[in-house]
Amino acid sequence: MEVKEMLYEGKAKQVFATDRDDVLMVHYKDDATAFNGLKKGTIEGKGVINNRVTNYLMQKLEGEGVPTHFVEELNGRDTLVKRVRIVPLEVIIRNISAGSFAKRFGVEEGIVFDAPTIEYSYKNDELGDPMINTAQALALKLATPAEIETIRTLAFKVNDVLKAFFKEVGVDLVDFKLEFGRLSDGTIVLADEISPDTCRFWDSKTHEKLDKDRFRRDLGNVEDAYHEMMKRILGE
């Protein structure tokens, strides 16, 4: 396998072409941003942790029947993935109130919901990823009705699998963000990452935050929290 030119650079990752037309390579950086890039920093070792954690969880999800873009982990920071056209929707599932949900609806953080919620943002940095509903997403032709149905079903399935898994390692899965992509034949697959950057993880007993909120909110011990999550997930 040969790595070719960089196709895209995001806030936390770079994407490269390879000698296979249908396969790309993702490189995970230590760069961290928050509030649509307003806050910038580095989380030492984050790239390796997010790469390894994402790949572990993607493979677990594949085993449970969720199609993903994962192909092969090359090394600590680099992974081969299937080339997809990203659906420009961020899909957010919540099990417990926190973050923008708590702020928007004027409730405290930590309310355990009877059933998970789903919401979508339009993935558009210039607009600051505004919240969008499915009718609006259809009006903007961001996805077809069938794709939105598939995305919704898969997102809740991901939540069922991950919630149960994290419970076993003593972590409450508070909320998380997913992205989906289309393979060349149109199949919808889970893409992007699943990591402490894109999920809220609270220790089940102490409720200590073990995710990017430590960076967003200047809580300190950011690296320790990422390491702790890797340890619990990968068992090392």
**CB of 127 or CB of 146, closer to ligand TMP:** 127
Grouping H, G, I as helix, E, B as strand and the rest as coil, residue 23 is strand
Chain-centre distance for alpha carbon 71: 17
Binding mask 183-202 for ligand TMP (x = CB under 6 A): ---------------xxx--
Span near ligand TMP by CB under 6 A; candidates 17-25, 55-63, 75-83, 99-107: 99-107
How far is the C-alpha of 158 from the C-alpha of 181, rounded, in Å? 15
**CB of 92 or CB of 155, closer to ligand TMP:** 92
What length does the chain have? 236
How far is the C-alpha of 192 from the C-alpha of 64, rounded, in Å? 18
**CB of 45 or CB of 99, closer to ligand TMP:** 99
How far are the Cα atoms of 12, 32, 34, 130, 227 from residue 74, in angstroms, in the given order? 18, 22, 28, 35, 20
Minimal distance in Å, beta carbon 80 to ligand TMP? 22
In the region spanning residues 139 to 178, those forming contacts with ligand TMP, defined by CB under 6 A, are: 175-177
Q: Is 215 in the site for ligand TMP (CB under 6 A)?
A: no
Minimal distance in Å, beta carbon 40 to ligand TMP? 14
Torsion of CA 192, 197, 203, 204, to 10 degrees: -40
| Of the residues 59, 100, 153, 221, which one makes contact with ligand TMP according to CB under 6 A | 100
Minimal distance in Å, beta carbon 95 to ligand TMP? 11
Angle between helices 145-168 and 46-63 (to 10 degrees): 110
**CB of 10 or CB of 186, closer to ligand TMP:** 10
Grouping H, G, I as helix, E, B as strand and the rest as coil, residue 182 is strand
**CB of 176 or CB of 226, closer to ligand TMP:** 176
Residue among 78, 31, 81, 25 at smallest CA distance from 52 = 78
- Strand bridging mode 70-73 / 112-122: unpaired
Residue closest to ligand TMP when measured from CB atoms? 99
In the region spanning residues 73 to 92, those forming contacts with ligand TMP, defined by CB under 6 A, are: 92
Minimal distance in Å, beta carbon 184 to ligand TMP? 26
How far is the C-alpha of 189 from the C-alpha of 202, rounded, in Å? 27
Q: Provide the binding-site residues for ligand TMP, judged by CB under 6 A.
A: 92, 98-101, 175-177, 198-200
